[in-house]
Structure 1
Amino acid sequence: MTLADELTGSWEPDQAEIDGANLTRFMAWLAETGRGEFADYQALWAESVRDPGWFWDAVWHFFDVRSESTPETALGTTDMPGAQWFPGATLNYATEVFRHETADRPAMVVAGEDAVTEWSWERLRGETAAFAAFLRSHDVGPGDRVVGYLPNVGEAVVAFLGAAAVGATWAVCNQDLAVGGVTARLGQLEPSVLVASDGSFYNGKRIDRSAELAEIRGQMPTLKATVLVPRLGTTPPDDVTPWSTVLEHDAPLEITPVPFEHPLWVLFSSGTTGTPKGIVHGHGGVVLEHLKYLALHLDLGPEDRFFWQSSTSWMMWNLLLGGLLVGSTIVTYDGSPTHGRTDYLWKVAADTGTTVLGAGAGYWLACAKEDLRPGTEFALDAVRAVGSTGSPLPASGYRWIQEGLGRRIPIVSASGGTDVVTAFIGGCPLVPIRAGELNVLCLGAAIEAWADGGTSVTEEAGELVVTKPMPSMPVFFWNDEGGAKYHDAYFDKYEGVWCHGDWLTITDRKSVVVHGRSDATLNRMGVRMGSAEIYNAVEGLAEVTDCLVVGCELDDGGYWMPLFVALADGVEFDDDLRAKIVAAIKTGASPRHVPDDVIAVPGIPRTMTGKRLEIPIKRILLGAKPSDVLTPSAVDRPDLLDVFAGHART
């Protein structure tokens, strides 16, 4: 048997990997401190969700979280929503970052299509201190908001840390978002300071955003100051402060302690319908959750270089910053992951010495479709784990990553969301991985699959619910007095139980298969299937670059299930290709779920964070006007919506 035959996408840790894992050290510490002895991961998980207060108190002490005051307890009120975590504690995210400062390794590696630069911890501290001093000079502090219109550059990290240090609340939009989308998000926060870049480099092109920036500023009357990061080297207007002037504020880093639940940042829902919801997370909840996930599940530590391809608008950027909380060097990248070639992201990983590399599942599948071999093209020996999220990664994707690298490696697929800025389900360095499955329910995440009526099930599909509170659940939604929007988002279906909107199967081994959004499941004659199964079957075809399937309940009682496909350049849609697509679904998914129609379209519109618009498209196909269903600024290609409207069943 050759190595290629052995690279199945599955993985099992050897004893050395188990012995060296942070999670093994954590379990030993639990035993040494009398907190409990656990035979394996599943026993620890069971206790972590049976008694969340016990578990998160252990995380607090194991990582030695610094608080200016002693919390009264780990978990007070346990209601959802409204759980009270570590009442009385005062801390700051920035404190937990800079306690790892060292001269032995860089804090960040800042990469772009034009350059790679290492940032020392000294530089990160110095620029953060200068920006914090600048904010204080404009009377910005707790209760104020600082926002960014920035690509994924080092100054974005600095601006966030500086805002956190003074107790202000941070929010950011990537520059690929239209002006209307930016102002719909950041404008509702009534910010005091805007930090922006004059543009960026993407796929070899200079993209000047000066005009957009002027328009955005004009729609933010509360601004006290605007700071410009000169990515393109343009000259800022007279009423804008250059980043170089900010850095003239020579001051030590002063960090303001804040309550555990004090707003750290605001992330936003996709905003496909109406104004995007502002999801507010607190300092303490984010610190604890990211320490747990990154150190215990992803096994990150000080020797790692952590790189997750993301825009600043995606929650994975926030999780990437969490690498600083465990002393890792984080890698940021401002540019196209396919700059000049599909596997360019792998080149960035090689050039930056990345050890843990993550991206959206769509990127890995794009590489797999071309059967690329980055392991022979680039020096990737340092990469020890690969992460995937954003959508379910099929078993074929796991296999390709190992084949592409030419060696066994853990493929850590994760599922969570902006709502909790972490994963509910992810990886564990002590537990084997089967290709196509997420290998564990995360510690402290009381996840169950509920069938209709609220019955917990295993080995069959159900709604993803969370039955116990987690510290990184939102503190509140912005402009949601009384909490009605928050309640309706997660607790409307099951009172007191978080219903996430995903459809999943939990196996008897406690691994998980995610099928897609529960409101987008396909129901043929009472047999339900997740849309992900269809995508996994169809996207393996070289002729198809993207696809979308929906199930429409018609007024006459009928059920119409069309599949829309975007084709590779030069591919003609004919009866032979239609038959090939149908055969792939029959053999790779289910004969019962063969679509009624296969329709070629110029492209598949997605949200700005890359998610398919299954429910909005379904509504359009049932006769709704695109303008009544979707906010154009929330869609990457709004021009495509009229294409789908042309196929409506009215």
Structure 2
Amino acid sequence: MMWNWTISALATGCTIVLYDGSPTHPSPATLFNLCDNEGISVLGISAKFLSVAQQAQVTPRISHQLSSLRAVLSTGSPLTEEGFNYVYSAIKSDCHLASMSGGTDIVSCFMLGNPNLPVYAGELQCAGLGMAVEVWDETGEALSEGKGELVCTQSFPACPIGFWNDPDQVRFKQAYFDVFPGVWVHGDYASHTAQDGYIIYGRSDATLNPGGVRIGTAEIYSLLDAMPEIADAVCVGQQWQDDTRVVLFVVMAPGHTLTEAFRETIKRHIREHASPRHVPAKILSVTDVPRTLSGKVAELAVRQTLQGETIGNASALANSEILAEYHNRPELRD
């Protein structure tokens, strides 16, 4: 979808700067060097990149000029409150930080930034133009507060008209309109805030449900972001004894190992800052986290691996071979 965005941006008369390669090579400050060298005014990055830069203690506010930088756009996954705080404290205090959420399927955003509105840490500022966005509960009632399904109740300009090789639109309707007939269900677990903004808690098909309590994985990831010992993580639900238990896989940062003492530290940190329901029943170490080609954590693929199911779309994974580490773990048999 970024090809479409890039080509469209040229119509405004702006100049596009593309960086091809790892954004942390040769250092996590590479993109900020680019901002100074090329006079970039709008920097588009991912929430994961901000997390990596924060863990590497990169402070462009001190090390760089960034005089041209006016806006930072973050997408790919939910940006945590810590991510917002990092941008304003360590990158630039007077830029416009916009966390955005939409999809390749609509080549657009359901929620995004607005330079005329205040920014609240952890929130996407507003719904996009032409998007009748609401958050619904399981019965199809709109929620003014609380977590539920992100839906779009009316047709919108960027709505696709169907799938290739789906002449009767069977797959298209199953993908978006099966849950609430005639209403687009995007598959995000979200809430509508008092500021008329939105919070995304992760994919609704990957939410955790221990003891019947629905938990968004982003709630756990945001707490782990504050722990420099953890480089990456993926959290899923495993069917266990007629219930669901939370299983957390962590990639330890260089120089750190997952000891029993540190497992208890993780559990205590999550319990104190979230709730006992959020605490993982199992915490296991892995060398990497499976991600899609666009860099998103592939929670569903991990859950399917744990349950012994066939991976729905393994070709969409950038590192599907890593799932072998998750398969048939003896620690998950008790």
TM-score (norm 1): 0.50
User: Which residue of 596, 599, 603 corresponds with 2:281?
Assistant: 596
Is residue 423 from structure 1 mapped to residue 109 from structure 2 by the alignment? yes
Give the aligned residue type for 1:569: P
Contact 2:211 2:243 in 1 (8 A): no
Alignment of 1:47-126 (within 5 A): none
Given that 1:503 and 1:530 are in contact with CA atoms closer than 8 Å, whether structure 2 keeps it comes out as yes
1:350 aligns with 2:32: no
- Residue among 480, 499, 511 paired with 2:185: 499
Superposed CA offset, 1:8-40 (max 9, x none): xxxxxxxxxxxxxxxxxxxxxxxxxxxxxxxxx
Instruction: Determine if contact 1:461/1:504 at 8 Å carries over to the other structure.
Output: yes
DSSP-derived class of the 1:548 partner:
strand
**Structure 2 counterparts to residues 309-348 of structure 1, below 5 A:** 315-348=1-34
Q: Is 1:477 aligned to 2:159, yes or no? A: no
Other-structure match for 1:534? 220
Q: Which runs of 5+ in 2 are unaligned?
A: none
Counterpart amino acid of residue 81 in structure 2: A
SS of aligned partner of 1:472: coil
Q: How many Å separate the matches in 1 of 2:249 and 2:197?
A: 31
2:111–2:126 Cα contact (<8 Å) kept: yes
Q: How does 1:289-304 map to 2 (within 5 A)?
A: none
Change (3 A) 1:575 1:410: same
Distance, in Å, in 2 between the alignment partners of 1:403 and 1:513 is 21
In the alignment, which of 310, 316, 325 is matched to residue 643 of structure 1?
A: 325
1:445 maps to what in 2?
131
Percentage of pairs with the same residue: 38
List aligned pairs for 1:382-531, cutoff 5 A: 382-531=68-217
Per-residue deviation at 1:401? Answer: 1.0
Superposed CA deviations along residues 256-290 of structure 1, whole A, max 9, x for unmatched, are xxxxxxxxxxxxxxxxxxxxxxxxxxxxxxxxxxx
Residue matched to 1:571: 256
Aligned-partner Cα distance in 2 for 1:413–1:631: 27
Match of 2:294, SS state, is: coil
Structure 1 Cα separation of the partners of residues 139 and 72 of structure 2: 38
Q: Which residue of 2 aligns with 1:619?
A: 304
Partner of 1:271: none
Please state how far the C-alpha of 1:631 moved relative to its aligned partner.
Answer: 4.6
Q: Deviations over 1:123-143 (max 9, x none)?
A: xxxxxxxxxxxxxxxxxxxxx
Distance 1:636 1:568 in 2: 21
Question: 1:552: how far off?
Answer: 2.0
Counterpart-to-counterpart distance in 2, 1:430 and 1:502: 26
In 2, Cα distance between equivalents of 1:432 and 1:347: 28
Q: For 1:413 and 1:327, locate their aligned partners in 2 and report how far apart those are by CA, in whole Å.
A: 24
Contact 1:371 1:400 in 2 (8 A): no
The 5 Å alignment of 1:169-248 reads none
Q: Read off the aligned partner of 2:102 and give its amino acid letter.
A: G
Who is 2:311 aligned against? 629
Spell out structure 1 runs of 4+ moving beyond 3 A.
630-633
Contact 1:539 1:547 in 2 (8 A): no
Aligned equivalents of 1:321, 1:376: Cα separation in 2: 34
Q: Which has the larger radius of gyration?
A: 1
State the aligned residue count. 332
Change (3 A) 1:370 1:434: same
Deviation at 1:480, TM superposition (A): 1.5
Per-residue deviation, 1:510? 1.2
**Residue 226 (structure 1) aligns with:** none
Residue type of the alignment partner of 2:316? A
2:270 is aligned, of 585, 607, 612, to 585
The Cα shift of 1:630 comes to 4.8
More divergent stretch after superposition (441-450 vs 568-577): 568-577
| Secondary structure, counterpart of 2:172 in structure 1 | helix
8 Å CA contact 1:490–1:498 kept in 2: the answer is yes
Q: Which amino acid counterpart does residue 510 of structure 1 have in structure 2?
A: D
Cα pair 2:47 2:75 within 8 Å, conserved: yes
Instruction: Write the distance in 2 (CA, Å) between the matches of 1:466 and 1:324.
Output: 29
Q: Secondary structure at the match of 2:291?
A: coil
What is the alpha-carbon distance in structure 1 between the residues aligned to residue 232 and residue 289 of structure 2?
7
Structure-2 separation of matches of 1:421 and 1:630 = 23
Change (3 A) 1:402 1:640: same
Aligned to 1:96: none
Letter in 2 for 1:633: S
SS in 2 for 1:434: coil
Give the CA deviation at 1:505.
Answer: 0.3
Q: CA deviation at 1:527?
A: 2.0
What amino acid does structure 2 have at the position aligned with 1:342? P
Q: CA deviation at 1:317?
A: 3.7
Q: Distance in 2 between matches of 1:585 and 1:367?
A: 23
Match of 2:290 in 1: 605
